[in-house]
């Protein structure tokens, strides 16, 4: 439920359910309950408004989701289609996000969402709360451009082109609701006679699931509301199957097993994931543990006011330090950005995009207490080493920093 409340499309569901509730009371002529219905709608607005207001403040416009939808708008603006950022199937941002979600082409998202601005002192995307066309701080020269031959993030592997909008919508639906369970839901839907009651609860859930996918992009979490709707409808199909079985000789004892069998099949994936996670050896668990170990180590050795630049905020959270997002850029521009943000260290990881080649450990922390400019090949003087983390300072710079760049 907490995850659903953090999804902006829940605001659409609350609005649709509010309209449906008022319509139901009007059809039943129970107008005396309207004050309670209005109070419930107001409570829903209060719960869902903070996240939407945050997105509006960060992006400068109204949006139902954050990072990926920001990438839609940014990419559409880069391709000259800013007015069509939310229209799937018209190219630009929506196609780019489908390439990321379904084609595995992370390069588009990284270069759009994690890019630095022209000055190199802050992130370019509005998702990070940076207004458009913000000038560089006074007295700070622009960051050095990244030469084509400079070491930088490794290019993404070639991937197949993502399917179109309707195909991704169908694929996301099957991810949320298995196809066999979807067939049960369709049987239950056919079995239900058309009625106002069925439409008043089903239409808002379908609208809140499908509308964001059609207007912006389709991914499984946007369609999560289809799961409870499918469960309600599939119950009708299970009841029909149970009645058919009980009508046969000796079938009375087997009828109740239908619902139990369906429940067991639905619980199997969760039970399998729980068994795999019980040993705490899954790749995601190991990565999360590594971030915790690195964060706690840095927290024990950095000054209390030191900020950390990292791709994932967990490192800074465990270190109990302020976090700055790691840009997707060359090493020298990242270091320049980190100094402009007054960060104490930059943490690179093999598990996220990094400009470092063959780092000695899974995580590398670069201390930023040296003067100068990161130019030329990267050389780090070892400060400390753990099985997971290499801590180093930049070797003496090949070139001194020009005035105004420190």
Report domain extents, the chain: 2-128, 165-193+200-278, 284-394
Cβ neighbours of 150 (radius 10 Å): 16
- In this structure, what token pair is assigned to residue 168? 């991704």
Alpha helices by DSSP H, listed for 60-146, are: 67-78, 93-103, 106-113
In the DSSP assignment, the letter for residue 395 is: P
Q: Which of 28-42, 133-147, 288-302 has the lowest mean pLDDT?
A: 133-147
pLDDT recorded at residue 153: 46
Each residue of 220-237: pLDDT tens digit? 877 888 888 888 888 888
pLDDT of residue 57: 72
- The proportion of the chain whose per-residue pLDDT surpasses 90, expressed as a percent, equals 20
Residue 389 has pLDDT above 90, yes or no: yes
Say yes or no to pLDDT of 197 above 60: yes
- Report the alpha-carbon angle 309-315-320, nearest 5: 95
Taking a C-beta distance cutoff of 8 angstroms, is the pair 100, 109 a contact?
yes
State residue 191's pLDDT score.
74
Query: What is the pLDDT of the chain when averaged over all its residues?
Result: 75
Supply the pLDDT for residue 87: 39
Provide the token pair at 175.
């991810």
- Beta strand pairing status for 343-349 and 380-385? unpaired
pLDDT digits (tens, 9 = 90+) for 358-387: 888 999 999 986 555 555 566 788 899 999
Cβ burial of 31 (10 Å; 0-12, 13-18, 19+) is exposed
Average pLDDT (336-350) is 93
Q: Is 325 helix (H, G, I), strand (E, B) or coil?
A: strand
Quote the percentage of the chain above a pLDDT of 70: 71
Q: How do strand 307-310 and strand 380-385 relate by DSSP bridges?
A: unpaired
* Residue 291 confidence (pLDDT): 94
């Amino acid at each position: 439920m907490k995850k659903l409340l953090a999804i902006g499309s829940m605001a659409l569901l609350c609005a649709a359910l509010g309209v449906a509730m008022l319509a139901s009371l009007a059809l039943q002529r129970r107008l005396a309950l309207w004050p309670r219905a209005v109070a419930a709608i107001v409570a829903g607005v209060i719960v869902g408004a903070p996240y939407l207001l945050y997105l509006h403040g960060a992006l400068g416009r109204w949006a139902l989701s954050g990072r990926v939808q920001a990438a839609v708008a940014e990419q559409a603006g880069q391709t000259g289609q800013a007015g069509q950022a939310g229209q799937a199937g018209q190219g630009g941002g929506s196609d780019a996000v489908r390439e990321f979600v379904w084609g595995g082409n992370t390069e588009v998202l990284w270069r759009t969402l994690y890019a630095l601005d022209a000055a190199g002192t802050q992130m370019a995307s509005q998702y990070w709360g940076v207004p458009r066309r913000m000038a560089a701080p006074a007295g700070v020269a622009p960051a050095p451009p990244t030469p084509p031959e400079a070491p930088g993030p490794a290019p993404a592997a070639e991937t197949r082109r993502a399917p179109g909008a309707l195909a991704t919508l169908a694929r996301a639906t099957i991810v949320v609701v298995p196809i066999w369970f979807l067939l049960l839901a369709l049987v239950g839907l056919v079995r239900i006679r058309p009625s106002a009651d069925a439409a008043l609860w089903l239409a808002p859930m379908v609208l809140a699931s499908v509308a964001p996918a059609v207007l912006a992009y389709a991914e499984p979490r946007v369609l999560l509301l289809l799961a409870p709707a499918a469960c309600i409808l599939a119950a009708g199909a299970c009841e029909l199957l149970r009645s058919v079985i009980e009508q046969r000789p000796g079938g009375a004892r087997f009828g109740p097993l239908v619902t139990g069998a369906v429940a067991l099949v639905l619980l199997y994936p969760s039970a399998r994931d729980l068994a795999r996670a019980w040993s705490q050896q899954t790749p995601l668990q190991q990565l999360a543990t590594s971030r915790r170990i690195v964060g706690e180590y840095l927290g024990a050795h950095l000054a209390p006011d030191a900020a950390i630049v990292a791709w994932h905020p967990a490192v800074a959270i465990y270190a109990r330090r302020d976090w700055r997002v790691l840009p997707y850029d060359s090493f020298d521009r990242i270091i320049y950005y980190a100094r402009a943000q007054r960060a104490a260290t930059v943490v690179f990881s093999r598990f996220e995009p990094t400009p470092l080649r063959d780092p000695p450990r899974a995580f590398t922390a670069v201390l930023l207490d040296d003067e100068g400019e990161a130019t030329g090949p990267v050389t780090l003087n070892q400060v400390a080493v753990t099985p997971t983390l290499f801590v180093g300072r930049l070797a003496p710079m090949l070139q001194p920093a020009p005035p105004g760049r420190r």
